[in-house]
Structure 1
């Protein structure tokens, strides 16, 4: 039975202590951190950065090449009367060179995603188109001895040249960042297992050559090289297993050919 004094007391509500609130905050922060470092999330963030880099670089390259079009046309027309056939044909010179350059850069954009290196002819073609654009833009200024004109007409081609070289390396490093994220995930048994941050020694990074060496060591003549077998033998990811299987098969084919 409640007494009158007990009825007159205000009702008390239980409030969480400071320690419990901090514990909840720590658990939430650990969960957020866990997903922020998840390889799929990291890969998605890198892909977004890659897309931004590509858009900005392409915009700068196209604007720079557009700036050179008028200068190259004036150089190619060589004083021809406006509207005449030589004057109109001169407008085709710079787009011809630019389209070839853009085709090379587009191809490099795709193959850099898989960290495949281009040959000497590709680099020679890229340098030739860029050099031709530079010479045609600055020739008139050099011939009249105008330093200001040389500087003015040198900036866009040189910027395009540097951007064309830098963007390939940037894409390669961004691809490497994605590979590092997945390599780190492969060394862990379960990426969602830890609920509280733990200090663990950093895992040794494995390169493509390391996986290939492991697959080569595990292979025997009775084994048919497939991506599934490569994953089982090396513990690599599904996306990497196809490349490893192709590389190992090529090595085996070369060795068999040498023996014959």
Structure 2
């Protein structure tokens, strides 16, 4: 009789443990499913994007603020303190910086949606950054001071690198969202959006851009990232991958053709 009770208690304990494990397994599956859901991934990436933007903007603005005094000194050219030329010299750095900040603010949006801004935008950004660098370091170069050149070169160079890097970072963060979508969504979900979503523009995938590049390619065309961006409208970050993939296909076709 005692053995029977002990066996029943043992079976009950085993069932309870199995139920707990089954519940844990179900919970773990739900956590994994939701943690890899495209919307959850997108939300996490948006939070990271916001942190990246705040940190980069803080660094860029502090760097430009540091350069303001040097540019003013360069523009004032020894004018008396408080004179009209001395006061007017303070307008030069904000003039350049405001144009640069306007470009960076626009790229903050275009990079998020992987829209190529064009050569003039990039040229304007480089011109403003180059002008800031030259005006900051000119006095040090003229005085022959290597320490001064290094000191006044660091902030403009940091601003230059940050301005270029933040655009690529936003582009890659958008790629991360798209990768999460491709890895979790069924093909029908990607290529045939639901009726409620048809009014919104469909997201283009790597294969879509590659198909456009294949159609536009001709034997006399050299496949480069710039050419891929021109014919597909993809981002800079994606164009390198597309160019490499299409170049490999072209080379493979040439080998088979020969």
Question: TM-score band, normalised by the shorter chain?
Answer: 0.5 to 0.7
> Does the residue aligned with 1:207 lie in a helix, a strand or coil?
helix
Residue 91 (structure 1) aligned with residue 90 (structure 2):
yes
Q: How does 1:1-260 map to 2 (within 5 A)?
A: 17-187=16-186, 206-209=206-209
Shift, 1:21, TM fit: 2.2
Change (3 A) 1:128 1:212: closer
Shift, 1:42, TM fit: 0.5
Check whether the contact 1:112–1:168 (CA below 8 A) recurs between aligned residues. yes
Rg larger for: 1
The C-alpha deviation readout for 1:50-70, integer Å capped at 9, x for no partner, is: 111111111110000000000
Check whether the contact 1:183–1:206 (CA below 8 A) recurs between aligned residues. no
Aligned to 1:196: none
Check whether the contact 2:36–2:184 (CA below 8 A) recurs between aligned residues. no
Counterpart CA distance in 2 for 1:143 and 1:106 is 34
Counterpart CA distance in 2 for 1:103 and 1:208 is 32
> Does the residue aligned with 2:113 lie in a helix, a strand or coil?
coil
Check whether the contact 1:105–1:164 (CA below 8 A) recurs between aligned residues. yes
Q: For structure 1, list consecutive stretches of 5 or more residues without a partner in the other structure.
A: 1-11, 191-204, 214-260
Change (3 A) 1:188 1:208: closer
Shift, 1:186, TM fit: 2.8
> Does the residue aligned with 2:80 lie in a helix, a strand or coil?
coil
Counterpart CA distance in 2 for 1:68 and 1:95 is 10
Shift, 1:19, TM fit: 3.1
Q: For structure 2, list consecutive stretches of 5 or more residues without a partner in the other structure.
A: 1-8, 190-204, 214-258
> Does the residue aligned with 1:81 lie in a helix, a strand or coil?
coil
Q: Which has the higher helix share?
A: 2
Shift, 1:74, TM fit: 0.6
- The alignment yields a C-alpha RMSD, in angstroms, of 2.2
The C-alpha deviation readout for 1:172-200, integer Å capped at 9, x for no partner, is: 0111111122223331789xxxxxxxxxx
Counterpart CA distance in 1 for 2:212 and 2:126 is 34
Check whether the contact 1:133–1:157 (CA below 8 A) recurs between aligned residues. yes
Shift, 1:45, TM fit: 0.5
Counterpart CA distance in 1 for 2:112 and 2:28 is 33
Counterpart CA distance in 2 for 1:148 and 1:18 is 71
Shift, 1:96, TM fit: 0.3
Count matched residues. 188
